[in-house]
Amino acid sequence: MAGRNAVVEALHADVPVTTMYVAAQTERDDRLKEALRIASARGLTVLQVPRSQIDQATGETAHQGVALKVPPYAYAHPDDLVSLATEDGQSPLLVALDSITDPRNLGAVVRSAAAFGVHGVVVPERRAAGMTASAWKTSAGSASRVPVARATNLTRQLKAYQSGGLSVVGLDAAADTGIEDLETAVATAPLVLVIGSEGKGLSRLVRDTCDALVRIPMRSGTESLNAAVAAGVALYEIARRRSQQP
């Protein structure tokens, strides 16, 4: 992650940075001073290095003389997400993302997941967004509270959840049932909410695996919602149902 604005935003969002690099003889404007202040408060290592070293590390993007080193994300195991919920005596609520390729969408979903009591987010191992620095930043720090797991095969993992007693509900714009009509027994029981990409929606195999499909009611003329927005709307409704239970 490089560039003064990006670095400051990442530090404010508690992205798990290990090292901050500053090019030698770089002018210290207000943004760089702010980045250095936050780095010092967090006890981060700050190294002054030749500009060529940052050029090489960032692919010569417009780094403005400052960059951050972010370690690889430590993914959870998909099965552990259920265990975390049951150990706390709660009914598991998970989100699975199907074909979401923009890490900013993933980060935004994680942020909504934290807001509405989700115990974990599952993403496919291939052809899907991962927890990059961009996803961390978009999550606004929520990625430190909501674990993200990678599934080798999403369809197989959903079936494993079903075998473990979880219902799998997919968001589908063409579904006959609206999210507000989802049975309360389903919304409050162990549940996996599956969200597809904005353009293609759920893949065929994932759609066929779902126990139920629901849509978000919208005014005519609106084709679809961004995946992260759809996740927030649906999770709000599920959280509302759960909060009404004794």
CA dist 31 and 49 (Å) reads 19
Per-residue pLDDT band at 143 (split at 50, 70, 90): confident
- Residues 76-124 pLDDT 10s: 999 999 998 888 788 999 999 998 999 999 999 999 999 999 999 999 9
Q: Which two tokens stand for residue 103?
A: 């890490």
In three-state secondary structure terms, 141 is coil
Count H helices and E strands in the chain, helices first.
10, 10
Q: Quote the pLDDT of residue 191.
A: 96
Fold of 78-243: Alpha/beta knot (3.40.1280)
Residue 62 identity: A
- DSSP-derived secondary structure letter, 99: S
- Domain 4-69 in CATH 2.40.10.120? The answer is no
Domain boundaries defined on the chain: 4-69, 78-243
pLDDT(222) > 70: no
